[in-house]
Amino acid sequence: MDDEELFVLFRDNGYKVTTQRLAISKFILAREDHPSAEKIYKGLKTDYPTLSLGTIYKTLHTLKELGLIQELGFEEGSIRYDPNTSPHLNVVCTSCYKIYDYKSKTIEDFWSLIVSELKFKSEGQRFDIYHECDECKKLKK
């Protein structure tokens, strides 16, 4: 989404549009690495020195409410954010916790079938597959 689309989306949903809110939104929506709030903070702090973690969490909450991101909580307590809200698998390394998306027609068809059988509109979905990535396997050798 560009600045104008974000501006209109926020304004039409009753949210103030600030430079920091736009920067946080653009940062997360352009990512594929499922960053944490802390990673977003580190990525933006140099350009926005008055930015706080509170502003980041509030903006992430707003983006989640607007359906633009998914919040991914994990057993070890970390929370990551995913701008890909379409049906896909989150492939998660059990050692380094890197996450990447895996999309396929099979997953899309499977999800359509499930939603059709349930006979209601889904508010979201989440599929995680856990494994040890090749990099972590190499480090253990």
Chain segment 75-104, per-residue pLDDT in tens: 777 899 999 999 999 999 999 999 999 999
Q: Smallest Cα–Cα separation from 70: which of 113, 6, 123, 115?
A: 123
**Beta bridge partner(s), residue 83:** none
Q: Smallest Cα–Cα separation from 111: which of 92, 125, 91?
A: 125
Confidence of residue 125 (pLDDT cuts 50, 70, 90): confident
Specify the CATH architecture of the domain 3-70.
Answer: Orthogonal Bundle (1.10)
Average pLDDT rounded to a whole number, residues 112-122: 90
Query: What pLDDT is recorded for position 77?
Result: 79
Quick one: tokens of 88?
Answer: 């896909």
- pLDDT tens for 5-30 read 999 999 999 999 999 999 999 999 99
Residues 127 and 88: beta-carbon distance below 8 Å: yes
Query: What pLDDT is recorded for position 123?
Result: 81
Confidence of residue 140 (pLDDT cuts 50, 70, 90): confident
The boundaries of every CATH 3.30.1490.190 domain in the chain are: 86-140
Quick one: tokens of 50?
Answer: 């008055």
Overall CATH class of domain 86-140: alpha beta
- pLDDT tens for 31-53 read 999 999 999 999 999 999 999 99
Q: Give me the helix-helix angle, 19-29 and 53-65, nearest 10°.
A: 60
Half-sphere exposure of 18 (CA within 13 A, CB side): 13
CA-to-CA distance for 93 and 10, rounded, in angstroms? 34
The boundaries of every CATH 1.10.10.10 domain in the chain are: 3-70
Q: Smallest Cα–Cα separation from 98: which of 31, 51, 46, 47?
A: 31
CA-to-CA distance for 126 and 128, rounded, in angstroms? 7
**50 vs 123, which has greater pLDDT?**
50
Average pLDDT rounded to a whole number, residues 116-131: 90
